[in-house]
Homo-oligomer: A and B are copies of this chain.
């Protein structure tokens, strides 16, 4: 018996998505909880980052919807590290939408969590086009992928509120210009909050944790 459930989610038509997304956002707002959509290429470190956040935020109960084409390993990793998790299978789909979020949330439940993350399908193109209903879009770009990714996949950076530049422990090994990547992101999205971190070593997470705690507390104070 696993500690997480596996759910097959189906895509709804594009036109309905905005309505569903607003419904999801309203539910989180009314419950004074936060939903964060985590996006990146495959292998940028989404799961490792979520594990790091769970470890560094012991004062909050963290829920994670793990969205994969058909693997289960990430939900298992999250539960092993103390998060509450559900595994969503997209049945081959390349992104999450708001209806999938609703289906996942119905199973995961909101009562015993303070903040919920969606770990979207690893894909720098399609997830950017679909509103999941999240309050915050967070994109991870890892150093080995290169500092040119914002220029090549602009929509992802246009829709992202926060960008984590991950795997900074490998900066000596790769040609990656940290100033240039900031410039490229800010050109697409002047308001983007950018953190340089290593989910593997924990380096750089202090500011990120402060920002995240503030966002959770601010949501709690809304409509108070």
Contact = CB atoms under 8 A, between A and B. Distances in A.
Interface of A: 41-43, 68-71, 73, 92, 94, 121-126, 129, 142, 144-146, 148-149, 151-155, 167, 170, 173-174
B68 A152 contact: yes
Secondary structure dominating the interface of A: loop
Total copies of the chain: 2
B123 A43 contact: no
B124 A71 contact: no
Contacts of A151: 71, 73
Contacts of A125: 69, 94, 121-123, 126
Contacts of A41: 41-43, 122, 124, 145
A144 B122 contact: no
A155 B153 CA distance: 23
Counting chain B CB atoms within 10 Å of each CB, the highest count among A43, A92, A124, A148 belongs to A43
A164 to B, nearest CB: 15
A-B interface, 7 closest residue pairs, ranked by CB to CB distance from nearest: A43-B145, A144-B144, A94-B125, A41-B42, A71-B152, A41-B41, A42-B124
17 contacts: A41-B42, A41-B43, A41-B122, A43-B146, A69-B152, A69-B155, A71-B152, A73-B148, A92-B155, A122-B125, A122-B153, A123-B123, A123-B125, A125-B126, A142-B144, A170-B170, A173-B173
